[in-house]
Amino acid sequence: MLNLLPLVCFVPLAAALILTVGGRRMPEPLAAVLGVGSIGLAALLAAMVGVAFFTSPLQGGAITYPLWTWMQVGNYAPVFALRLDALSLIMLGVITGVGFCIHLFAVWYMRGDAGFARFFAYMNAFVASMLFLVLADDLMFLYLGWEGVGLFSYLLIGFWFRDPANGLAARKAFIVTRIGDTALLLGLLLLYREFGTLDIQSVLELASQAWTVGNPTATLACLLILGGAVGKSAQLPLQTWLPDAMAGPTPVSALIHAATMVTAGVYLVVRLHPLYELSPVALASVGIIGAATLLLAGFAALVQTDIKRILAYSTMSQIGYMFLAAGVGAYESAMFHLMTHAFFKALLFLSAGSVILALHHEQDIFRMGGLSRRMPWVFACMLVGTLALTAFPFTSGFFSKEAILHHAYASGHLGLWWAGVFGALLTALYSFRLIFVVFFGAPRTNAAGESSTPAGAPFSHQLPLGILFVLALVGGFIHLPPGDVLPAHVDVDIGFAARLPVIVSLAGIALAWLLFVRLPQIPAALATQRATAWLGHWWRSAWGFDWLYDRVLVRPFVWLTRVNRDDVVDPLIGFVAVGANQVGALVAVTQNGRMRYYAAVAGLGVCALIAILALQ
Amino acid sequence: MTLVALLLIPLLGGIVAAWCGRWSASAARTAALGAMVGALGLSLVVWTQHDFGITSVPGVEGVPSPWVLEYRAPWIPALGASIHLGLDGLSLLLVVLTNLLGVFAVLVSTREAERSGGFFYLSLLWNVAAVVGVFLALDLLLFFFFWEMMLIPMFFLIAVWGQDQAGGLTRNRAALKFFLFGQASGLLLLVSTLGLVYLHYRATGELTFDYDRLLGTTLPPDVAWWLMFGFFLAFALKLPIVPLHTWLGDAHCAAPPSGSVDLAGLLLKTAAYGMLRFTVPLFPEAALTFANTAMWLGVLTIVYGAVVAFSQHDLKRLVAYTGISHLGFVVVGIFAGTGQALTGVVLQMVAHALSAGALFLLCGEIQARLGTRDLRQLGGLAEPLPRLGSMVMFFAIASLGLPGLGNFVAEVLILSGTFAVAPVIAIGALSGLILSVAYALLMVQRALHGEPVGAGGFSDGAGAGPLLADLSARTLGLLLVLVTLLVGLGLYPQPVIDLVNAPLHAIEAGYRGFEFAPVFDPAGASSP
């Protein structure tokens, strides 16, 4: 059964190829069957692999399938090899399982689009790349998947390419993440130089032999790899692309920018955690970046008006929690939160997609309102997703977030713990603001008043929401697969500190109710006050990072390329030609056809020669 | 004799094509195509029939010759010049590439050949023959002969079948610019060659232009440096390296599509080949002292080419500048000189020839449909022209170095090989990876995305204006061959690596010696 593993990757890849070749000629139902069926088949195969993994424990808890050697130059020989262990199994399940739900939903969401087949080709190819990323046994192979997901993220953000704004968002995402990726590649080059291999297990083993804790090269390598991780996972300082990436179709946001690709950075850090253990500085940076991002994104989410941007900042914030967990050494909690987050955030995005379509592509939450009566099923989904997001007791998010904060406290990272607790308050505030504004009160526009759960509510709409609904609710009871990939933790009783996050987040929900249902005049007043309005504006622009990068990097670069469009070197080289012409003209003067002049010059020359000879 | 045949097939094919051109362009085309396919077939047969894995160091007594095939005939005995041809894995790879792109150039040339078809194919095939000669010549005078011979057919291709640039150079001026830069390069090459031959004569009393003989000539260090610098400059002008690159954009813009495919795919590769074959092996110590400067020039070329490419309006000029940027990696890799870097250099030459060749071909297709290559007037082409759109997208992505495609393997090998000896330079070169995303995606945006250029009178058939035809099945087939090759290079480059391993090993040994080995290579760590 385990040897089905390569098929899990290659089925979506093959489907992507067929969909590409078929293109517009392919009828929509066929494209849907292919696009969704391939992921469904992959999910099924992955489930069989998972069952086999549980029932017959492997030696060393992992199995490797070498496919072929990519290239061999001297001692450099990266191998295309798939490796299955507890860690990659979690990712495998999330990618194919949640991926299947989202693909199915996309059949409904994208119906009638001219690029239907193209959409599913990209989505399937994305899934294949993502699977390569998490199954790769060699860092260079991982990098292939890493860049592959970046490419398909770009193609899918800019899927509706008629609008140049979408193209800009897509390019921004690709370029910003590429900056991180380049740091990652540099980190890989450094590791290769040190160890002569990029095979993950060998690198981890050799590193622990060759380096002691605190080795500066280890720190450098870890920080460079962290650069790649923060780029992909939209963490400080490379976080600016994620909100703009919402320009893509909503299923894309759910799959790539919530459930899978953006969590790749977390996976990378966890996968390489023995390396990070060697560098306390790098590990601390992971935690601090996570904490800073979760607060920054939490404040930003608080004042957004676009439903998808709220969710985008929320994703950024939740990934911040995962980084925080990895930073305090709670790798298992990080992966746990990654999984539950994939469930509830995919649910939230798909529900939001449902709302958006019902309101004819309206995304402004202040043009919605009162939708709970109009779309009860979508409201239920959104509510469950939100409860899980705010870590409401016994929902999936509760267990994972509690585990993270528990470990942060128990390991003595009090600063990070406080950030996480305050983040819980922000989470409750911004997510219930969304719920109250969108689903409660009176409809704010006609469209909101006339909306209803989409016509006919086909099963491609209902089933994915249903599955994710259940998972978001009870996903916290799923136990992570066994294995010795991640270090086990000893349970410590931390007393009241364990309960504080729950209290804070319940208080946050109450405060949100107070502010957005009971006393809506307070936020309205705050919006008109000069100081608070300015603060709101600052938060809405996510602390002005876009503005800063635009001034410091983008504009100077564009200016430089504009002024040098005609290539300043060209006229400089042209001076050679001009010079040759000038000298030619000068010498041409001597050829004037006057015999006397020639004779005189010849005589002078002879005299000069004699003089030279005589003087020697 | 096989080597002579590799040279004679395009030479004679050109004459036959010119003769057939008296009746019709299509007859000339058929003749030219036949000759190129024959040459390609022959070079592939050579690949399969011989073992290219022999490792040996040229010029050292008692070691078997590194040349898998060799041919010698007297030429000018008084000067010590002979017709000495030789072929190893490196030259074979480039000959195969040359013949392949030769076939492509013939196939895409329907439009040019309408005017004096016979002469057109004569120029095209003689250009190919000269390039093959460059890759095979082992006599420095003969090498110089072929080096000069490349210029003339290309001059005609640009000047006769080229196109004037609105607001830019006329095709004649562009051809002249190309020719003058080529001549400057030839002069430097000749002077340096003569200098080397003279010093060799003074040292040994033997007057010879033979490559094998001249290898390992002992020279005073400062003279060796200047000779090395002469060879370097001669090739740097053709590669080209910033700031000697300004002829390239104009030449490409003026050249017809088949000419651009030739120029990017073949002529520029001869310069890289020259550095690999002559500059470094003939003067290893001098090259080593110059390595840092050369690598920094390579980084400058990478960055400058990419920055200028970013803001170009002319699609073809943009692609030309991206080529400059990519060839900067070649310079970095050659002077890093480690086995990995050199392998990357060769792969980069192949991958860039394929991807840039395809992009120039696509520029020609766009221009044929819309009458312009100006990005300000293009847009939204992906919608009316899905085939063309997806092909431009693919090759743009290849050129930004996506893993899984040939260009990435090449660049990562160069970077990794350079990082081992010059980490700071490798970091500088890495910036090229970010800049390439910027220009490639902007190009895609401006040409393919956005509203279709309906306002200008073109539509996808729904509105008014002429209907745009998508790529023909034949052009698409040609491009798919290139796609397959790039994917093959990206996922399994081993056949190419094995082919060039022996000659590159020899170059590395002569240049870097075995002074450095991987810092830390525990047994078993590198073997899967």
DSSP labels, B61-76:
TTS--S-SEEEEEEEE
Least Cα distance to A130 among A244, A232, A20 occurs for: A232
Task: Please name which of A333, A315, A343, A325 lies closest in space to residue A235, comparing C-alpha atoms.
Answer: A315
Measured between CA atoms, how close is A567 to chain B, in angstroms?
A: 7
Please choose, from the candidates A446, A323, A325, A342, the residue with its C-alpha nearest in 3D space to the C-alpha of residue A396. Answer: A342
Mean pLDDT of chain A: 88
Query: CB–CB of A194 and B427 under 8 A?
Result: no
Amino acid sitting at position A550 = D
Tell me B467's DSSP state. Answer: B
Ranges of beta strands (E only) in A519-596 are: none
ipTM: 0.89
Of A341, A372, A384, A381, give the one whose Cα is nearest residue A462: A381
Contacts of B491 in chain A (CB under 8 A): 70, 80
DSSP code, position A481: P
In a domain, B383, yes or no: yes
A350 close to A327: Cβ distance less than 8 angstroms? no
Question: Does the residue B330 lie in any domain?
Answer: yes
Q: Is residue B23 part of a domain?
A: no
Looking at residue A344, its pLDDT comes to 93
Burial of A495 (0-12, 13-18, 19+ CB in 10 A): exposed
User: What is the spatial distance between Cα B468 and Cα B369, in angstroms, rounded to a whole number?
Assistant: 7
**Distance between A70 CA and the closest CA of chain B, angstroms:** 6
Is A171 at the interface with chain B, CB within 8 A?
A: yes
Residue B439 falls within a domain, yes or no? Answer: yes
Do the chains contact at A185 and B311, CB–CB below 8 Å? no
The distance of A255 to chain B (nearest Cα, Å) reads 22
Cα–Cα separations (whole angstroms), residue A563 to A61, A93, A597: 59, 51, 51
**Contact between A539 and A460 (Cβ < 8 Å):** no
- B491-528: pLDDT as tens digits: 999 999 988 888 888 888 888 764 443 333 334 333 33
Q: How many CB pairs under 8 A join A and B?
A: 161
Count of other CB atoms within 10 angstroms of residue A111: 13
Give domain status of residue B413, yes or no.
yes
Which neighbouring-strand residues pair with B459? B467
Tokens of A453: 């759960």
What per-residue string of b and e applies to A553-564 under the rule 16 or more CB within 10 Å gives b?
Answer: eeeeeeeebeee
Q: Is the minimum CB–CB distance between A482 and chain B shorter than 8 Å?
A: no
Helix, strand, coil shares of chain A, percent, nearest 5, are 75, 5, 20
Residue B455 CB neighbour total at 10 angstroms: 12
Give per-residue pLDDT as tens, A27-70: 888 999 999 999 999 999 999 988 888 887 777 778 888 888 89
pLDDT top residue among A413 and A185: A185
CB-count exposure of residue B170 (10 Å: 0-12, 13-18, 19+): middle
Residue A429 makes CB contacts below 8 A (sequence gap 6+) with A302, A508, A511, A512, A515
Domain of B437?
290-459+469-514
With beta carbons less than 8 A apart as the criterion, state whether B35 and B16 touch: yes
pLDDT at B168 over 80: no
Verify whether the Cβ–Cβ distance A560 to B416 is below 8 Å.
no
Residue B482's Cβ-count burial label (10 Å; 0-12, 13-18, 19+) is buried
Residue A427 pLDDT: 93
CA distance A236 to A293: 6
DSSP state of A454: P
Report the alpha-carbon distance of residue B35 to residue A286 in Å, rounded: 62
Query: What tokens were used for A471?
Result: 């998972």
Is the model's pLDDT at A83 over the cut of 70? Answer: yes
Tokens (6 digits) for A407: 């470990």
Residue B431 lies in a domain: yes
Q: Quick one: which of A23, A41, A44, A43 has its CA closest to A33?
A: A41
Could you read off the pLDDT of A523-561 as tens digits, one per residue?
Answer: 888 888 888 888 888 888 888 888 889 889 888 888 888
Of B140, B401, B238, B165, the closest CA to residue A148 belongs to: B401
DSSP secondary structure letters along A166-234: HHHHHHHHHHHHHHHHHHHHHHHHHHHHHHS--BHHHHHHHHHHH--TT-HHHHHHHHHHHHHHHHHTT
On whether the CB atoms of residues B264 and B360 are closer than 8 A, the answer is: yes
Are the C-beta atoms of B31 and B121 separated by less than 8 Å?
A: yes
The answer to whether A381 touches A438, Cβ cutoff 8 Å, is no
Q: Pick B413's closest partner by Cβ from A73, A147, A168.
A: A73
Q: Are B528 and A162 within 8 A, CB to CB?
A: no
Residue B462: pLDDT above 50?
no
Count CB-CB contacts under 10 A for residue B283: 28
Q: How many CA atoms lie within 13 A of B138 on its CB side?
A: 24
Residue B463: the pLDDT is: 44
Residue A415 in tokens: 């600063």
Residue A26: HSE in the Cβ half-sphere, 13 Å Cα cutoff: 25
Q: What pLDDT, in 10s, does the model give residues A263-314?
A: 999 999 999 999 999 999 999 999 999 999 999 999 999 889 899 999 999 9
Question: pLDDT grade, residue A3 (50/70/90)?
Answer: confident
Percent of chain B past pLDDT 90, that is, above it, reads 43
Q: Which residues of A touch B308 (CB under 8 A)?
A: 561, 564-565, 567
Supply the DSSP symbol for B183: H
Look at residue A546 in the predicted model and tell me its pLDDT: 87
User: β-pairing, B81-87 with A62-69?
Assistant: unpaired
Say how far apart CA B392 and CA A151 lie, in whole Å: 15
Rounded-to-integer distance, Cα A214 and Cα A209, Å: 13
Compute the average pLDDT of residues A81-105. 91
Selecting from A23, A71, A189 the residue whose C-beta is nearest the C-beta of B494 gives A71
Q: What is the pLDDT of residue A500?
A: 87
Question: For residue A411, what pLDDT is reported?
Answer: 86
- CA–CA separation, B127 and B146 (whole Å): 10
Alpha-carbon gap, residue A273 to B253, rounded angstroms: 52
Please judge whether A72 and B522 are an interchain contact, meaning their C-beta atoms are less than 8 angstroms apart: no
With respect to residue B381, please indicate whether it lies within any of the assigned structural domains: yes
Q: How far is CA B57 from the centre of its chain?
A: 25
| Residue A66 near residue B528, CB atoms below 8 Å | yes
Which tokens sit at A563? Answer: 């002024």
pLDDT digits (tens, 9 = 90+) for B248-291: 888 888 888 888 888 888 888 899 999 999 998 888 888 888 98
The phi and psi torsions of B72 (rounded to 5 degrees) equal: -135, 135
pLDDT (tens digit per residue) in B29-44: 899 999 999 999 999 9
Is omega for the bond preceding B64 within 30 degrees of 0, making it cis? no
Mean pLDDT of chain B: 86
Cβ A393 vs Cβ A351: under 8 Å: no
- For residue B42, is it within any domain? no
Q: Check A175 against B497: CB less than 8 A apart.
A: no
Which pLDDT does position A457 carry in this prediction?
63
* B297-309 pLDDT per residue, tens: 999 999 999 999 9
Mean pLDDT of B195-200: 92
Q: For residue B327, which amino acid is it?
A: L
Of A69, A161, A174, the CB nearest to B437: A174
Task: Measure CA A564 to chain center.
Answer: 34
Shortest Cα–Cα distance, A191 to chain B (Å):
10
Contact B433, A231 (CB under 8 A): no
What is the per-residue pLDDT for A539?
Answer: 86
Region of B518 please: left (phi>0), alpha (psi -120 to 50) or beta.
beta
pLDDT, residue B304, reads 92
Query: Measured between beta carbons, which residues in chain B are less than 8 angstroms from residue A162?
Result: 380, 383, 449-452
Q: How confident is the model at residue B455 (pLDDT cuts 50, 70, 90)?
A: very low
Residue position matching structure tokens 């690999």: B276
A161-189: average pLDDT: 92
- Whether the predicted pLDDT of A149 surpasses 50: yes
For the segment B354-358, the average pLDDT, to the nearest whole number, is 91
The pLDDT of residue A482 is 57
Residues 6+ apart with CB under 8 A from B474: B107
**With pLDDT > 90 as the criterion, what percentage of chain A qualifies?**
42
Which of B413, B420, B450 faces A164 most closely, judged by CB atoms? B450
> Six-digit token pair at A67?
């496919």
Yes or no, beta carbons of A193 and B397 under 8 Å apart: no
Neighbours of B285 (CB within 10 A): 14
Q: How many domains does chain B divide into? A: 1
Predicted confidence (pLDDT) at residue A320 exceeds the cutoff of 90: yes
pLDDT of residue B261: 87
